[in-house]
Amino acid sequence: MTGLPDPTWQVLPREFYRRHPALVAPELLNKILVRSDGRAARIVEVEAYAGSEDPAAHSFRGRTARTATMFGEAGHLYVYFTYGMHWGSNAVCGEAGEGFGVLLRAAEPLLGVELMRQARPRARRDRDLASGPGKLSQAFGINRDFDGADLVGGDRGIRIASDGTPPPDTPVVGPRIGISRAVEFPWRWHVPGHLHVSVPPRKR
């Protein structure tokens, strides 16, 4: 497809996102986040957020200027600022008006690694380049300008694609990180044993 570094990769269609985020999230594992400048990374950790049914979601209390993108068409990028220093990147899911999204928590750099290193000069190892939501956004140069970007149409040079690698049959499932509400929801998934997740597996 046009704009992708490998002609065999396929951009995820909008229908992929038009579902509950708890269904979309685990299927985003092993998909590839791609920028038109050549940066690409395999998504290895995600979290689901589900609007009015999820007290931890930014969209829980309804649409605001900050969360407007979450209530829009599925397959767009919702970008928010957090902790006064980091950007978070989310794939909007469900139907318009539901406020659903999936946070991209961590990814394994594949292409354009030197650009990622330039964007994250403090990262000591390549496994640290995108091993967390803020790190991932920084590595890809994602900021407020990307809020509302179409991940399907690629209007701002960013998409999510598949190279044919399926999601893991049994991803690691557990509670989300860095929230104080709905902490019991098992809505965080990551690729088992992967060294690029935000909380790396402990050595045995």
CATH of the domain at 16: 3.10.300.10
**What's the pLDDT score for residue 55?**
95
Say if 194 falls within a structural domain.
no
**pLDDT tens string 113-149:** 999 999 999 999 999 999 999 999 999 999 999 999 9
Say if 159 falls within a structural domain.
yes
Length of the chain: 204
Residue with tokens 């979290």: 47
Question: What's the CA gap between 200 and 24, in Å, rounded?
Answer: 23
In one-letter notation, the amino acid at residue 17 is Y
Say if 3 falls within a structural domain.
no
Q: Residues 136-159, buried b or exposed e (16+ Cβ, 10 A)?
A: bbbbbbbeeebbbbbbbebebebb
183: number of Cβ within 10 Å:
11
Say if 14 falls within a structural domain.
yes
Say if 5 falls within a structural domain.
no
**What's the pLDDT score for residue 2?**
55
Say if 195 falls within a structural domain.
no
Say if 108 falls within a structural domain.
yes
DSSP state at residue 32: E
What is the domain extent for residue 161? Answer: 10-188
Say if 121 falls within a structural domain.
yes
The strand pairing partners of 190, in sequence order, are 45, 172
Q: How many domains does the structure of the chain reveal? A: 1
Tens digit of each residue's pLDDT, the chain (204 residues): 457 999 999 999 999 999 999 999 999 999 999 999 999 999 999 999 999 999 999 999 999 999 999 999 999 999 999 866 799 999 999 999 999 999 999 999 999 999 999 999 999 999 999 999 999 999 999 999 999 999 999 999 999 999 999 999 999 999 999 999 999 999 999 999 999 999 765 543
